Structure 1
Amino acid sequence: MARKNLIEVSSADEVPTPMADIRPIAGFVAPAIRGAPIGGITRTLGNITQKFERAQDLEKQLAEGKIVVELDPALVDGSFVSDRLGIDRVELADLVAQINEHGQQVPILVRPHPQVNGRYQVAYGHRRLAAVKELGIKVRAVIRELSDDQLVVSQGQENNARTNLSYIERALFAARLEDRSFSREVIMAALNIDKAALSKMLSVVRVIPIELIEAIGAAPEVGRRRWMEFAEKLPKAKVELQAVLTSLSADNSSDQRFQQAVSALNSLPRITREGARTNLWGAKDKLVSVNVKSTAKKAVVTYEAKDGPSFAAYITGRLDDLYEAFRNSQNNQ
């Protein structure tokens, strides 16, 4: 008799036997299905991974200077090379008032201090740092890993764009960088100048004594041409440095002190190789100048400028009267 249904094909509406009702193979026990515990661990591991990735991203953004943080100003040191001849007290007072009213709108740039853990070093923003110190608040800053070259380039370029350093401050900054063995290429990049302009800046600073530059100050209204003229005239004048320094008044502005120094070169006694002393007098209208070179037994008077010859003739015609006045003054002493 033929056997039926040797190969059984289930119909579409046939309900399969549940797995739970199938008799297990002898010796084999199906593992229990775990739901919540494994899922919870997976989620926990996922959260840890996400937090670690966020921390890495935050650290990366901090290193790249993409995040503004607040720092205790007491932990922030100035740059290792100064680019200013002091901070103007009036300008600082204005900045303090502005930050006090509107907050610090522009963050400073710092780097982790290369020698001291937990401290920072300013690339730019010295005036803002000074202002928040006066206010007793934290300073908003961007922290960035910077080499020495990167720091001075950032410092110079930011100051060029924002704070308008005076010509002599820029020249002094260039000289200080060169004294620290920075390459000419780095210095030119920091100041955004070419080789010829850099050479002129350095020549000015190398001729004028640093004591005189610091005594004069930033002189923001005095440009390249006048500083170069001053540097050219100073060695020829051969006046005593202390005499020029004494002629400067601390009560005047730095621009006025520069003019005082120029006037001192024209009026102070000069020491020549022969030990002679020279005096120069100039009329206020600049139409006459008188140069007197004298030794123990001789004096040479030179009349220059537009009205020099006619003024000399005028003096010559009145020598009798002048000499008489001179003798009377000597007798009255």
Structure 2
Amino acid sequence: MARNHTLGKLLSTQTDANRPNEVKPSGTFSRSGALGSVARSLGDLKAKANEAEKLEEKLRDGSHVIELDPGTVDPSFLPDRLDAPDDTFLSLRDAIADRGQLSPILVRPNPVTSGRYQVAFGHRRLKACLELGITVKAIVKELSDADLLIAQGQENSERTDLSFLERALFAKKLETLGYGRDVAMAALGIDKTELSRLISVARELDDEIVAYLGRCPSIGRKRWLEFADALKSPGGQKRCVKFIRETTEHNADDEKRFIAAYKAAVGPKASSVTGANHEPLSWQSPDKDLVVKAESGDRKGRIDIRSEKSPEFVSFLLEKIPQLYKDFSKVRKNTQ
């Protein structure tokens, strides 16, 4: 037998004739009474929660730019820049002061400290905003340690901000921390061969040598490889460190510091890169818009001109070469 519902029994005891008239809530009560007020409040809270959830999702996906107090943003756990004077930073800071920050930085929520962030790339923009006392525009994105390092390395590689030395040291740090070479290659945008070159150079560099040389942005791969070979030669490392500890020329330019350290590592042997009579020379225009570097050997020389105005300057130089050669021949004749 089916079980009778208790509530049904209670309701069925009253006939339709004896049942009191039903009282229906008025529309006015539902809209403006206490119940309506609570309903509206709950609706507002839900809407705000949905908006907050959408904003949080945007931040996690890196699809939204916000402004942060630069004091709440910590540096990457693996710096890729040497702490050295950088004239370009002053230009960047002045540009941000004049025109504002045009490109946002990339940060992630700090995995250790709640309420703080950690920068993936944009360290110099962050520093500029901090010094200027303004907020920093940032994209917030959830990143693993490896993803952060890859984003950090790729940004700097695309902007060609890092010198060969900084790239080499960064590659070595990744290796020391146990990251696979695939992470290093992705971060620096290089192949296995170039990565091996970078690491082979960094392994030979004593901390004192790095501190003395600084960023050395003008020194290319070939010369670094030869410097590493010189350091690997018997006594090369000791001779170089001894020279650095005794020299007073710590404020010389990149070229002079590098040549001096290289010669110390080589010792009495002649250098194939920076021989005593064939040291690389460099010249920079007063406005720093044109850089000319020259190397000479026994039977050939090379001039490297770097500037957006290079084509015009090279054409101008070629026009002047006949007269320059005449002047050179005169001077040479008078000195013989």
Are the aligned partners of 2:240 and 2:265 in contact in 1 as well (CA < 8 Å)?
no
Name the structure 2 match of 1:243.
242
Name the structure 2 match of 1:35.
27
Letter in 2 for 1:149: A
Question: Separation in 2 of the partners of 1:283 and 1:153?
Answer: 42
Moved more, 103-112 or 82-91: 82-91
Are the aligned partners of 1:95 and 1:131 in contact in 2 as well (CA < 8 Å)?
yes
- Residues 80 and 90 of structure 1: is their aligned pair in 2 closer, same or farther, counting only changes over 3 Å? same
- Residues 242 and 140 of structure 1: is their aligned pair in 2 closer, same or farther, counting only changes over 3 Å? same
For structure 1, the 5+ residue unaligned runs are 1-23, 269-277, 287-304, 308-333
Letter in 1 for 2:157: N
- Residues 260 and 248 of structure 1: is their aligned pair in 2 closer, same or farther, counting only changes over 3 Å? farther
- Residues 148 and 242 of structure 1: is their aligned pair in 2 closer, same or farther, counting only changes over 3 Å? same
Question: Separation in 1 of the partners of 2:211 and 2:85?
Answer: 14
Question: Separation in 2 of the partners of 1:29 and 1:109?
Answer: 67
- Residues 31 and 101 of structure 1: is their aligned pair in 2 closer, same or farther, counting only changes over 3 Å? same
Name the structure 2 match of 1:297.
none
Q: 1:182 aligns with which of 175, 179, 185?
A: 179
Task: After TM superposition, give the deviation of residue 191 of structure 1 in Å.
Answer: 0.8
Question: Separation in 1 of the partners of 2:261 and 2:19?
Answer: 108
Name the structure 2 match of 1:75.
72
- The reply on whether 1:109 has 2:106 as its aligned counterpart is yes
Name the structure 2 match of 1:220.
217
Q: 1:231 aligns with which of 224, 228, 233?
A: 228
- 1:143-165 Cα distance to aligned partner (Å, 9 max, x none): 22211111101110111112521
Q: What's the secondary structure of 2:138's corresponding residue?
A: strand
- Residues 48 and 283 of structure 1: is their aligned pair in 2 closer, same or farther, counting only changes over 3 Å? closer
Question: Separation in 2 of the partners of 1:188 and 1:77?
Answer: 25
Question: Separation in 2 of the partners of 1:207 and 1:154?
Answer: 27
- Residues 221 and 194 of structure 1: is their aligned pair in 2 closer, same or farther, counting only changes over 3 Å? same
For structure 2, the 5+ residue unaligned runs are 1-15, 280-296, 300-336
Q: What's the secondary structure of 2:233's corresponding residue?
A: helix
Task: After TM superposition, give the deviation of residue 88 of structure 1 in Å.
Answer: 3.2
Are the aligned partners of 2:150 and 2:187 in contact in 1 as well (CA < 8 Å)?
yes
Letter in 1 for 2:67: E
Are the aligned partners of 1:247 and 1:261 in contact in 2 as well (CA < 8 Å)?
no
Task: After TM superposition, give the deviation of residue 211 of structure 1 in Å.
Answer: 2.1
Letter in 1 for 2:97: N
Q: What's the secondary structure of 2:195's corresponding residue?
A: helix
Name the structure 1 match of 2:188.
191
Are the aligned partners of 2:164 and 2:217 in contact in 1 as well (CA < 8 Å)?
yes
Name the structure 2 match of 1:147.
144
Are the aligned partners of 2:231 and 2:240 in contact in 1 as well (CA < 8 Å)?
no
- Residues 117 and 207 of structure 1: is their aligned pair in 2 closer, same or farther, counting only changes over 3 Å? same
- Residues 75 and 35 of structure 1: is their aligned pair in 2 closer, same or farther, counting only changes over 3 Å? same
CA RMSD of aligned residues (A): 2.7
Letter in 1 for 2:204: V
Question: Separation in 2 of the partners of 1:64 and 1:195?
Answer: 31
Are the aligned partners of 2:66 and 2:137 in contact in 1 as well (CA < 8 Å)?
yes
Name the structure 1 match of 2:258.
258
Are the aligned partners of 1:108 and 1:140 in contact in 2 as well (CA < 8 Å)?
yes
- The reply on whether 1:161 has 2:175 as its aligned counterpart is no
Q: What's the secondary structure of 2:219's corresponding residue?
A: coil
Question: Separation in 2 of the partners of 1:58 and 1:44?
Answer: 21
- Residues 280 and 54 of structure 1: is their aligned pair in 2 closer, same or farther, counting only changes over 3 Å? closer
Moved more, 143-152 or 246-255: 246-255
Task: After TM superposition, give the deviation of residue 106 of structure 1 in Å.
Answer: 1.3
Question: Separation in 1 of the partners of 2:82 and 2:45?
Answer: 52
Moved more, 70-79 or 124-133: 70-79
Task: After TM superposition, give the deviation of residue 237 of structure 1 in Å.
Answer: 5.8
Identity %: 41
Task: After TM superposition, give the deviation of residue 253 of structure 1 in Å.
Answer: 2.5
Task: After TM superposition, give the deviation of residue 43 of structure 1 in Å.
Answer: 5.3
Name the structure 2 match of 1:323.
none
Letter in 1 for 2:213: I
Question: Separation in 1 of the partners of 2:256 and 2:54?
Answer: 53
Task: After TM superposition, give the deviation of residue 25 of structure 1 in Å.
Answer: 5.2
Are the aligned partners of 1:107 and 1:139 in contact in 2 as well (CA < 8 Å)?
yes
Letter in 2 for 1:147: S
How many residues get paired? Answer: 256
Name the structure 2 match of 1:284.
277
Letter in 2 for 1:151: L
Q: What's the secondary structure of 1:207's corresponding residue?
A: coil
Task: After TM superposition, give the deviation of residue 134 of structure 1 in Å.
Answer: 1.6
Letter in 1 for 2:264: A
Q: 1:99 aligns with which of 96, 100, 103?
A: 96
Are the aligned partners of 2:104 and 2:136 in contact in 1 as well (CA < 8 Å)?
yes
Are the aligned partners of 1:230 and 1:262 in contact in 2 as well (CA < 8 Å)?
yes
Are the aligned partners of 1:247 and 1:260 in contact in 2 as well (CA < 8 Å)?
no
Question: Separation in 1 of the partners of 2:164 and 2:278?
Answer: 29
- The reply on whether 1:131 has 2:136 as its aligned counterpart is no
TM-score, normalised to structure 1, is 0.69
Question: Separation in 2 of the partners of 1:279 and 1:171?
Answer: 26
